[in-house]
């Protein structure tokens, strides 16, 4: 049996989807027997690899690094799953959108709300340049499967992954599979 190459990615979100993924508990052992984890915040791998079979993308596109990475992900991955409400709709991450762009958000965070050192960091590598608008994954690249939830429950994640491991498409229907929040 050929092992699938699985990746998980954390963009603009809280990591709650990855915490829910870890709630798969003992099933993670079964999953590990069927896949090679080739990229994840859980593993310290620096470059997104070529030839990924399946990726769970948590979070919205909020900065230039996310934008660059999501294009690389689509180019190098067979099946892209929008993983959680931030990836599917923008959700909480997109709450900054009504503030009018990146500059007002940076002013609020680093100037108005700061007690000391009121300055916006400008050195490269400290804060990736923010996009003026946070967007869900599908507004930037084509998405193959949407897995909503904030976060999606471990049983819902498993019900999505199990068919994919068998080369089948998961049934993303009914309240238990498509409920937001």
> What domains does the chain contain, in order, with CATH numbers?
4-98+133-166 (3.40.50.700)
pLDDT value at residue 1: 61
pLDDT tens for 29-79 read: 999 999 999 999 988 889 999 999 999 999 999 999 999 999 999 999 999
- 116-148 pLDDT per residue, tens: 989 988 777 777 899 999 999 999 999 999 999
- Which tokens go with 173? 């229907």
Residues 6+ apart with CB under 8 A from 12: 59, 60, 61, 62, 63, 66, 86, 93, 134
């Amino acid at each position: 049996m050929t092992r699938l190459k699985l990746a998980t990615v954390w963009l603009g979100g809280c990591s709650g989807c990855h915490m829910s993924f870890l709630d798969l508990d003992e099933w993670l052992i079964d999953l590990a027997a069927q896949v090679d984890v080739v990229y994840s915040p859980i593993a310290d791998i620096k470059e997104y690899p070529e030839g990924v079979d399946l990726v769970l993308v948590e979070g919205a596109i909020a900065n230039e690094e996310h934008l660059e990475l999501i294009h690389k992900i689509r180019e190098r991955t067979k099946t892209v799953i929008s993983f959680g409400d931030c990836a599917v709709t923008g959700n909480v991450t997109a709450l900054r959108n009504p503030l009018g762009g990146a500059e007002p958000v940076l002013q609020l965070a680093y100037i108005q709300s700061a007690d000391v050192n009121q300055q916006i960091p400008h050195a490269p590598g400290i804060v990736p340049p923010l996009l003026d608008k946070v967007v869900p994954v599908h507004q930037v690249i084509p998405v193959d499967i949407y897995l909503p939830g904030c976060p999606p429950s471990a049983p819902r994640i498993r019900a999505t992954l199990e068919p994919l491991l068998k080369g089948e498409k998961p049934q993303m229907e009914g309240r238990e599979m498509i409920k937001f929040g």
